[in-house]
Amino acid sequence: MTFEVALARCGSYDPAAVAAAVEEAVAPFGGFSAFAGRGDRVLLKLNLLAAKAPEDAVTTHPALVREVIKRVQDCGAEVLVGDSPGGRNTPAKYRALLKKTGILDVIESSGARAVYFDDPVTTVASEKARTFKKFTVTSVVHDVDAVIALPKCKTHQFTTYTGAVKLLYGYIPGVRKAEYHLHAGRDVAWFAELLLDLCKTFPPALTIMDAVVGMDGPGPQSGTPRPIGLILAGTNAPAIDFVATQVLGLDPASVPTVRIAAERGYGPASLGEVTVHGPHPDTVRVEGFVPPVIRTMDRRLPPVIVPVLDRLLATRPAVDTGRCV
C-alpha cells in the first residue's frame, strides 16, 4: 500500500506565508474543493489542549485556522470549529480557552461557528475496534459532512509524540478522557491501540498539520517551542505522523501510534511506502530536536492513588450464580 503526504515550507505565521503553504500542501489531494462543497458543514478539529497563548506552541495556531476557514468557506461550506480539552469543561471555560488561544477572534471575524464538544454526546459502535466496541464522543460527529483535522506537532511524555492520530482523542468529552487513561494505566501500547481505533472509526477527510513552530522536550504542554518550518497535509493520519517523526529525527518504532499503525496495515512501516510531495524529510530534518522523558500515566498521579487505582481496575472473575448447577 502506498501512502501520500505533502510537505510545504512555512517559516513564520505571516498570513501570506501560511496561505501559500496551505495551498501548496493541499494541492496534491485535489485542493479544498475535494473535501468541501456548497451547503456542506465542515468541522475543523483543532488541538486546544489548554488555555495557552499561540506563541506557547501548545495549540493549533490561529493563523493556520484562519486560512483554512477562508478556503473552506470559499467552497461554499459552513465551518464549525472545536475540540474538547481534558478535565471538567463548561461553556464559559471553553469560551475563555478559545479567547486565550486566539481562536475566538478568528471564529468571530470569519463567520465560522464554535462548537462545544462536551454536551451533547453520543455513543458510537465500533465493532472492529481492538479496545472498546463503543465510544462516547461528541455528537458533533453526526452533524457534519466532513472533518478537516488541524493538529499541532509536539512531543508527549506518555506517547512520545502527538500529532494527527492523537488529535482525535479530543472527540471524547473532557472528563471521560480520564476513564480511558485509567484503563490504559502504564500500557502505552494499549492506549495507542485506542487512539488508532478512534482514528479508524472517525477518520478525518483531510489533515493539515501545524508544524511551523512545534514543541520539543516535556510536551505536550510544558516543552519548548521549536521552529520546524513546515505544514504537512494528507488523507491518512498515521502516514502524516510517520513523516513528521522523520522530520523530527525520532525513531518511528519509539512512537507507539506510528509503530502499531504499521503493524495493523493502517500506516507506513518505512519511508519507501510514502509518496512525498514537496521537500524530502531528510532535507528538512530538525537538528538537535529534544525528545521527551517518558512518564507513564500513573506517575502523573499522587503515589497514594496508584495502588488504589490498580485494585479498582484489576480484572477479577465473577460468579454467575444463575448458571450454577
Q: Please compute the mean of the pLDDT values over residues 121-134 and round it to a whole number.
A: 93
Contacts of 6 (CB under 8 A, 6+ apart): 24, 25, 26, 27, 28, 29, 232, 233, 234, 276, 277, 278
For the segment 287-304, the average pLDDT, to the nearest whole number, is 73
If you average pLDDT over residues 296-320, what whole number do you get?
A: 48
The pLDDT, as a whole number, for residue 86 is 87
Listed in order, strand segments (DSSP E) in the chain are 3-9, 41-46, 78-83, 113-116, 121-125, 134-138, 146-150, 152-156, 160-162, 206-216, 224-234, 274-277
Q: Which of 138, 62, 64, 149 shows the shortest CA–CA distance to 100?
A: 62
Q: Residue ranges of the domains in the chain?
A: 3-313
Residue 88 above 60 pLDDT? Answer: yes
Structure confidence at residue 185 as a pLDDT band (50, 70, 90): confident
Asked if residue 64 lies in contact with residue 70, where contact means CB atoms within 8 angstroms, the answer is: no
How large a percentage of the chain has pLDDT more than 90?
84
Query: How far, in Å, are 15, 95, 98 from residue 108 at the CA level?
Result: 17, 12, 11
pLDDT computed for residue 307 by the predictor: 52
Across residues 71-93, what is the average pLDDT? 96
Per-residue pLDDT tens over the stretch 102-111: 999 999 999 9
pLDDT digits (tens, 9 = 90+) for 225-269: 999 999 999 999 999 999 999 999 999 999 999 999 999 999 999
pLDDT digits (tens, 9 = 90+) for 132-167: 999 999 999 999 999 999 999 999 999 999 999 999
Sorting pLDDT into bands at 50, 70 and 90, what band is 186?
A: confident
* pLDDT tier at 183, thresholds 50, 70, 90: confident
Mean pLDDT of the chain: 92
The per-residue pLDDT for 318 is: 44
Instruction: Quote the pTM value.
Output: 0.91
Write down the pLDDT at residue 304: 42
Tens digit of each residue's pLDDT (9 = 90 or more) over 1-37: 789 999 999 999 999 999 999 999 999 999 999 999 9
What is 3-313's CATH number?
A: 3.40.50
User: Residue 193 above 90 pLDDT?
Assistant: yes
Please, are residues 211 and 247 in contact by the beta-carbon 8 Å criterion?
Answer: yes
**Between 322 and 168, the higher pLDDT residue:** 168
Judged on CB neighbours under 10 Å (0-12, 13-18, 19+), 40 is: middle
pLDDT-based confidence at residue 297 (cuts at 50, 70, 90): low
